[in-house]
């Protein structure tokens, strides 16, 4: 059963590495320019026009189960702050979703392949991930615009921004995990997105991710390449590992179970930050 | 599900991860610990002196000693298990290290120690320590992962006495005794 507004302090749930990287960037290069309110509103309305024109809004009448699942995620995450946002679907065979927010208004877009191929538990992970970007305010930072002009900024600054961008995805994944309620759903959603394969047993997926993470970690730490880690999103096995390590605490928070404490959560968060930073430094 | 009495068990198969919370309110300096045996026969112990690792064998970690000082109140210690695949058994133990050092008995009988075991789907099993045995080490529950069908959580509730934590074998003798 969905609980309303389980999180009252989103910053405590945010991946600490994300906050720390932003502090480091700002202490070294000055404040990151935020998108101003008028620009954000304009972008939102422009995007909405396109969605109303080229996509289809998912309503209770059109797709009750999907709309209901999305509503449960909104209640769980945003019940306390009245989070509201529209959900659209657009035809595409690529597994992808996106969100743009301005203040408390936002629109989520998912591709039709997700609705066709993902079950409700996996869709909740996707919805939660996008809602995570909303509640953590990631749209305020026009990182893609800054990186589009990558030659105009110092390489070190660009790398730090990319590290920050990757860390924001880990924060968003946590909200996805909170919404879908177990590691299996989250891991299967990541696996399906990465591989395109359907109907693989959950335990095989978990074993596959664990092995591939170990291989990737070894490769990053021991094999030199000319390719620096220029990605806005973390590699999928790294996202899995961050979820795997944090999942018990996130589930305990969702269930209000014995064993959850913010102190314990922060302890795990620091371990994940240490792990990701060690990969960032060597990557 | 509640396992209040010694010998009660629950099939908890189908999970990959577990969070174990040991709670007590009575004034006692208890510690949560876990002994384990891997599928290839290796034995080990996770306790306040060896907190473990979530990302490498044994894929379990203690939160640290949070119930220090023989104080009453909401005492709690947490053990997280991120992967159980490689384990045959995990034995969940409670001890009073102060009493182990001098070989005296702990106050298990007068305590309200309980375990809450949550799996990775959020299902919780509560295990109550049900023993009048004298001792300073209590085996509260066993996670038996030897069956291909899935893991079993058993309320074992038995106690024994150690004088010093000299070898893992001493502890294993209590577990198997």
Sole residue written with tokens 């074993």: A207
Residues in chain B closer than 8 A to A182 (CB atoms): 120-122
Inter-chain touch B76–A259, beta carbons under 8 Å: yes
| d(CA A133, nearest CA chain B) in Å | 24
**Residue B105 sits in which domain range?**
2-176
CB neighbours of residue A139 within 10 Å:
20
On the question of pLDDT at B66 being above 60, the answer is no
Mutate one of A238, A259, A265 to test the B interface: name it (highest B CB count within 10 A).
A259
Among chain A residues, the shortest Cα distance to B61 is held by A268
pLDDT at A258: 79
Inter-chain touch B78–A203, beta carbons under 8 Å: no
On the question of pLDDT at B113 being above 50, the answer is yes
Q: Which pLDDT tens digits describe chain A residue by residue (283 residues)?
A: 444 578 888 999 999 999 999 999 999 988 887 888 898 999 999 999 999 999 999 999 999 999 999 999 999 998 767 788 999 999 999 999 999 999 889 999 999 999 999 999 999 999 999 999 999 999 888 887 777 776 778 888 888 999 999 999 999 999 999 999 999 999 999 999 999 999 899 999 999 999 999 999 999 888 877 666 678 899 999 999 999 999 999 999 999 887 888 989 999 999 999 999 998 887 6
Residue A4 neighbours by CB under 8 Å, 6+ apart: A75, A76, A79, A80
Helices (H), A107-150: 112-117, 120-135, 143-148
SS (H, E, C) B104-119: CCCCCCCCCCEEEEEE
Inter-chain touch A251–B118, beta carbons under 8 Å: yes
Inter-chain touch A251–B120, beta carbons under 8 Å: yes
Q: In CATH, what number is assigned to the domain containing residue B121?
A: 2.60.60.30
Residues of A with CB under 8 A from a CB of B: 181-184, 203, 206-207, 210, 241, 244-245, 247-249, 251-252, 254-255, 257-259, 261, 264, 267-268, 271, 275
Coil, helix or strand for A215?
Answer: helix
Inter-chain touch B122–A248, beta carbons under 8 Å: no
pLDDT at A1: 43
On the question of pLDDT at B73 being above 60, the answer is yes
- Structurally, chain B folds into a number of domains equal to 1
Cβ contact A195:A212 at 8 Å: no
Burial class, B70, CB count within 10 angstroms (exposed 0-12 / middle 13-18 / buried 19+): middle
| d(CA B63, nearest CA chain A) in Å | 7
* Averaged pLDDT for residues B52-60: 95
pLDDT at A86: 96
- B76 at interface of A, judged by CB pairs closer than 8 A: yes
pTM comes to: 0.92
For B118, the closest of A183, A245, A252 (CB atoms) is A252
| d(CA B121, nearest CA chain A) in Å | 5
Q: What is the ipTM of this complex?
A: 0.87
Inter-chain touch B78–A275, beta carbons under 8 Å: no
Q: Which residues face B82 on adjacent strands?
A: none
Among chain A residues, the shortest Cα distance to B126 is held by A258
| d(CA B21, nearest CA chain A) in Å | 5
pLDDT at B71: 63
pLDDT at A153: 80
| d(CA B93, nearest CA chain A) in Å | 17
Among chain B residues, the shortest Cα distance to A185 is held by B121
């Amino acid at each position: 059963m969905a609980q309303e507004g389980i999180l009252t302090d989103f910053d405590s749930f945010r991946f600490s590495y994300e906050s720390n990287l932003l502090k480091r960037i700002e202490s070294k290069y000055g404040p990151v320019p935020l998108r101003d309110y008028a620009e954000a509103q304009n972008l939102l309305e422009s995007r909405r026009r396109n969605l109303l024109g080229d996509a289809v809004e998912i309503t209770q009448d059109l797709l009750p189960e999907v709309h209901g699942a999305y509503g449960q995620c909104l209640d769980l995450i945003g019940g306390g702050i009245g989070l509201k946002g529209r959900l659209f679907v657009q035809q595409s065979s690529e597994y992808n979703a996106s969100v743009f927010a301005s203040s408390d208004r936002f629109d989520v877009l998912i591709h039709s392949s997700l609705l066709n191929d993902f079950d409700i538990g996996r869709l909740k992970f996707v919805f939660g991930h996008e809602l995570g970007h909303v509640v953590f305010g990631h749209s305020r930072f026009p990182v893609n615009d800054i990186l589009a002009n990558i030659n105009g900024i110092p390489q070190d600054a660009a790398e730090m921004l990319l590290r920050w961008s990757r860390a924001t995805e880990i924060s968003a994944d946590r909200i996805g995990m909170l919404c879908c309620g177990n590691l299996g759903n989250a891991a299967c959603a990541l696996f399906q997105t990465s591989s395109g394969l359907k109907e693989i047993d959950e335990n095989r997926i978990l074993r596959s991710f664990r092995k591939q993470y170990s291989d990737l970690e070894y490769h990053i730490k021991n094999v030199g390449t000319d390719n620096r880690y220029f990605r806005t999103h973390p590699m999928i096995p790294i996202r899995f590992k961050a979820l795997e390590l944090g999942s018990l605490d996130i589930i305990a928070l969702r269930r209000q179970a014995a064993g959850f404490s913010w102190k314990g959560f922060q302890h795990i968060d620091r371990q994940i930050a240490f792990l990701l930073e060690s990969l960032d430094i060597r990557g | 599900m509640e396992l209040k009495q010694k010998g009660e068990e629950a099939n908890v198969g189908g999970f990959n991860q577990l969070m174990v919370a040991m709670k007590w309110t009575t004034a006692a300096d208890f510690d949560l610990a876990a002994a384990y045996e891997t599928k290839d026969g290796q034995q080990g112990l996770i306790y306040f002196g060896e907190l473990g690792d979530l990302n490498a064998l044994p894929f379990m970690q203690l939160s640290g000693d949070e119930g220090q000082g023989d104080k009453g109140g909401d005492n709690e210690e947490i053990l997280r298990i991120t992967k159980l695949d490689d384990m045959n058994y995990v034995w969940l133990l409670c001890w009073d290290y102060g009493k182990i050092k001098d070989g005296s008995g702990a106050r298990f009988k007068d305590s309200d120690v309980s375990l809450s075991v949550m799996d990775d789907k959020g299902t919780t099993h509560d295990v109550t320590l049900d023993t009048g045995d004298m001792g300073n080490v209590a085996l509260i529950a066993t996670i038996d992962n030897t069956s291909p069908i899935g893991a079993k959580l058993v309320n074992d509730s038995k106690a024994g006495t150690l004088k010093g934590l000299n070898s893992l074998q001493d502890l294993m003798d209590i577990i198997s005794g």
